[in-house]
Amino acid sequence: MLKEYRQRPWRVFLTVFLITFCVVHFAFAAETELAGFTEERIREIKEAIEPVLKGQPVTDIPEEDRQLLFLAEMLYSDSFELFLRHGEYLADVKRDYTQAIPRLKRAYELKPKELSILEKLAVCHQALKQSASEVSCWETLRELLENDEDPEKRDLRQRVMVNLERMAKENAMMMRAGRRFIIYTPVDSAYTYVTHELIDDRLEEIYQQVTGDLACVPAYRTSILVLDPIKFEEVSPTSWAGGFASGGKSMTLPADSFPRSEPETRLPARKLLTHEFTHNIIFIMGGGKCPTWLNEGLAVFSEKKDDGFTEFKPYVPAPGEIMDIEELEKEFQEIRKLGKESLERVHKAYQMAGLYARFLVQNGTMAAPRQIINCLKNGMKMEEALQNVTDLSIRQFENDFKAWTVELASN
């Protein structure tokens, strides 16, 4: 989708969609000197740039005073108008986009409801050919405007979609805006059929299952980025990944995971999409605080459910192969470093996580993981959250889990 995509496409959809702000703050006390300036010098700076502090354009002050804006930023690090007007001046008049960007970011940090700043940032990144950062701005705007029916923002909504489609075309991608998802697929004729695989009716089944189970409906459409196998392998976090989710906003999948099928059939790749979309929703629910074992476990549980949401026969490990939760969490960190030659070990970790999730759901319904994730989002540690929801310590939970697996194996 982006020129930088071919090397780093995941950056576009990483929690990431959010802009990183980096501004140095300085404390100011009237009775002391600041950065080597006397109080008299500080008064001179304030008097010179005061119109900008009140929201007037930088061009309203004499040109010889405009350099004082850089010094003023140390004195008024919380002035929205200063950072906005200075950023606009640097971008629109001086065409100094490199210096404009951090000032516009600071202004947006101070007033995140001022969406026009994001558009200005996108234009700056476009001028610098920073494609990943540019699309991050447009995608963030898309998310924020998704359900905003304000007629005054109609033109902005249209510009967002026009620019996303432009960037897709520039990078040999096709963009389609569905009901629940924004879908990007390769223009390459070998994979154009994927667009027809990901039709709304097929994706609706996945959407309803995951959002229904987790009782969480995103306020915006999720992006599905489909890359050809070579590009996917370049950006995949591990050599064995079949797909990966980026925060709550997107998932990235290889095009060869979509076999051709008839439109009236169910989507053959629904398990993969269900798994990754579950990660997206869990990120939204928990603010990124859900541990890997539970996150992956719920994704595995979700993908293994059949049409009727009935029981599925799980993998049951031998007693000596059962990992406790701490061991399983460490195992997920270890397998990230492994290659495709270790797929058996990878599969066992995922199967174990899925089994833990099934045990949790079977004993507490889907309300149990939902409540645990909510507790984690509110700052509880896993031990406390599990105790709060199941009335079991982690040790007792693990002991009950082991007894349950023995019972499963005997049936």
Q: How many other CB atoms are found less than 10 A from the CB of residue 114?
A: 14
Per-residue model confidence (pLDDT) at position 15:
34
Per-residue model confidence (pLDDT) at position 3:
34
| Topology (CATH level 3) of domain 1-171 | 1.25.40
Picking from 20, 21, 47, 45, the residue whose alpha carbon sits closest to that of residue 35 is 45
Picking from 353, 363, 351, 361, the residue whose alpha carbon sits closest to that of residue 400 is 363
Under the banding of pLDDT at 50, 70 and 90, the label for residue 410 is confident
Give the residues across from 186 on adjacent strands: 173
Per-residue model confidence (pLDDT) at position 35:
52
Per-residue model confidence (pLDDT) at position 311:
53
Chain centre to alpha carbon of residue 110: 22
Calculate mean pLDDT across residues 210-223.
Answer: 96
User: Cα dist. 317→231, 300, 355, 406 in Å?
Assistant: 36, 16, 9, 9
358, pLDDT greater than 80: yes
The span from the CA of 279 to the CA of 282, in Å, is: 5
Per-residue model confidence (pLDDT) at position 11:
42
Per-residue model confidence (pLDDT) at position 363:
92
Query: Tokens 């951090």, residue?
Result: 102
The span from the CA of 323 to the CA of 315, in Å, is: 14
Q: Burial of 381 by CB count in 10 Å (0-12 exposed, 13-18 middle, 19+ buried)?
A: exposed
Calculate mean pLDDT across residues 21-35.
Answer: 37
3-state secondary structure of 237: coil
In the chain, where are the structural domains located? Answer: 1-171, 175-271, 289-411
Determine contact, residues 357/275, Cβ cutoff 8 Å.
Answer: no
Determine contact, residues 239/211, Cβ cutoff 8 Å.
Answer: no
Q: For the segment 135-193, what is each residue's pLDDT rounded down to a tens digit?
A: 999 999 999 998 888 999 999 999 999 999 999 999 899 999 999 999 999 999 999 99
Determine contact, residues 390/397, Cβ cutoff 8 Å.
Answer: yes
The span from the CA of 304 to the CA of 354, in Å, is: 9
393, pLDDT greater than 70: yes
User: Cα dist. 20→17, 127, 174, 326 in Å?
Assistant: 10, 19, 28, 32
Model pTM above 0.85: no
Q: For the segment 302-317, what is each residue's pLDDT rounded down to a tens digit?
A: 998 854 444 556 668 8
